[in-house]
Amino acid sequence: MSNYNKIIPTLAGSNLLVEAIKSKKPLIFTRIALGDGTLIESESIESLTALKHPMAQNTVQAINSRGNGEIDVVATISNASVTSGFYARELGVFAKVGDTGTEKLFAYTNAGAQASYTPAGTSLDEKLITVTFYIGNDVNVQINLNSQLYITQAALDTHNSATNAHQAAFDKKLDVSSRQYAKSITKHNQGLQVTKGDNSQEIINFITTNYDDSDINKVLNLGTLKGLLGQGAIIASKLTNNGGFVKFANGFTIQWGIGGQDNVTKTEVTFPIRFTTLFIANAIDAYWSGSDTPRYFANSANESNNTKAVFVASDRYAASYYWFALGMA
């Protein structure tokens, strides 16, 4: 930032102050401008009516009272529209009396050789400028706010980090004491429990313990599901007439099929899946008509095991039989 000399009211500025007091109209600070003009030694600041070579400007965005008739005039000037870099030697504050008054150069200063360089707008450079004036207590001071005013990055960061930024807007848009506001959401054995702004509670029900629940969009809770599996829900099966099986969740398994061979009394069958424990295996005559003597088949327990069953027929003409076996798998 340039090291400016004391800012001096121009003759036009002094006249604006007198006019504001006499007319009781507000003194309106309109803008602050920067330029790279150079004062010659014999040149009087009081007689200036404009910057010698203006380069950048912005409207005044704040007037802060310091008390005892002093005010701070604040503006932020950016190089966003600057196409060529310059040394910000001169600074001017502009004002007018009343809304219809003519804008004039109110005060001026020049940094001379102590001016800082402002680059072109290819890289953003912002200057927060505060100019202090003593105007007394008899003048009504105002500013005209421009919708294109912007803030500095530092001011924006401070705003964003504030815990109450836009709190009034939030409070206006959202009534935290209403039923439309969710104060908290917690787990519930039927789904989720929502506590609302008025402290009423609602259960969002998507979990059921009823296996026969008609709402197919609900899910069974784990306890119910485990219970159903423990009661024997089928977890694997092969439903064919020969070499079929059904295995339940607790391991209990039923297997079945067709076996036998002509002119042989002892035959064996291989189970579709291996038992870990074989409880029983048995077979019945597949072709008994009911008029002749039925054949029977005995399980050869000492030969049967977890992978096969061995059956002995009552005679060699018992060529075919249906078998089944029970056990754990």
For the chain, the structural domain boundaries read: 8-161, 166-230, 234-328
What is the structure's pLDDT at 291?
52
Structure tokens at 203: 């259960």
Name the burial class of residue 136, with classes exposed (0-12), middle (13-18) and buried (19+) by CB atoms within 10 angstroms of its CB. Answer: exposed
What pLDDT score does 150 carry?
43
Q: What is the CATH number assigned to the segment(s) 234-328? A: 2.60.40.3940
CA distance 122 to 216: 62
Closest CA to 268 of 245, 230, 297: 297
DSSP state of 250: T
The 10 Å CB-count burial string (b at 16+, else e) for 41-63 is: eeeebeebebbbeebbbbbbbeb
Per residue in 125-137, pLDDT tens?
A: 788 899 999 988 8
Look at 142 and 86; give whichever has higher pLDDT: 86
Is the predicted pLDDT of residue 6 greater than 50, yes or no? yes
Note whether 105 and 12 are within 8 A (CB): yes
Lowest mean pLDDT among 27-41, 255-269, 279-293: 279-293
pLDDT for 286 equals: 73
- Mean pLDDT, residues 45-66 taken together: 94
Is the pLDDT higher at 218 or at 24?
24
Q: Does the pLDDT of residue 60 top 70, yes or no? A: yes
Q: What are phi and psi of 212, to 5 degrees?
A: -95, 20
Nearest Cα neighbor of 144 from 229, 54, 31, 14 is 31
- Show the CA angle centred on residue 145, arms to residues 144 and 149, nearest 5°: 140
- Lowest mean pLDDT: which of 72-86, 168-182, 253-267? 168-182
Instruction: Output the CA–CA distances (angstroms, integers) from residue 23 to 27, 95, 125, 312, in the order listed.
Output: 10, 15, 40, 130
Query: What local confidence, expressed as pLDDT, does residue 105 receive?
Result: 97
pLDDT of residue 246: 95
Neighbouring C-beta atoms of residue 83, cutoff 10 Å: 9
pLDDT number for residue 71: 92
C-alpha to C-alpha distances, 79 to 82, 92, 209, 318, 319, nearest whole angstrom: 5, 16, 68, 107, 105
Mean pLDDT for the stretch of residues 220-238: 73
Please give the pLDDT value at position 268.
Answer: 92
pTM for this predicted structure = 0.46
Tell me: pLDDT of 113 over 50: yes
CB atoms inside a 10 Å sphere around CB 186: 9
pLDDT in tens, 270-326: 999 999 999 999 988 876 655 566 677 778 878 999 999 998 888 776 668 899 999
pLDDT at 117: 92
pLDDT over threshold 90, residue 235: no
Listed in sequence order, the residues at least 6 apart from 73 whose beta carbon sits closer than 8 Å to its beta carbon are 29, 32, 60, 62, 63, 93, 130, 131, 132, 133
Give the pLDDT of residue 41. Answer: 85
For 78, the enclosing helix (H) or strand (E) is: strand 70-78
**Three-class DSSP category at 18:** helix
Q: Tell me: the pLDDT tens digits for 241-259?
A: 899 999 988 889 999 999 8
Residue 191 confidence (pLDDT) above 50: yes
Q: Give the three-class secondary structure for 99.
A: coil
Among 97-101, 180-184, 229-233, 296-300, the least confident range: 229-233
Across the chain, what does the average pLDDT equal? 84
Can you give the length of the chain in residues?
329
Q: Mean pLDDT throughout 197-219?
A: 78
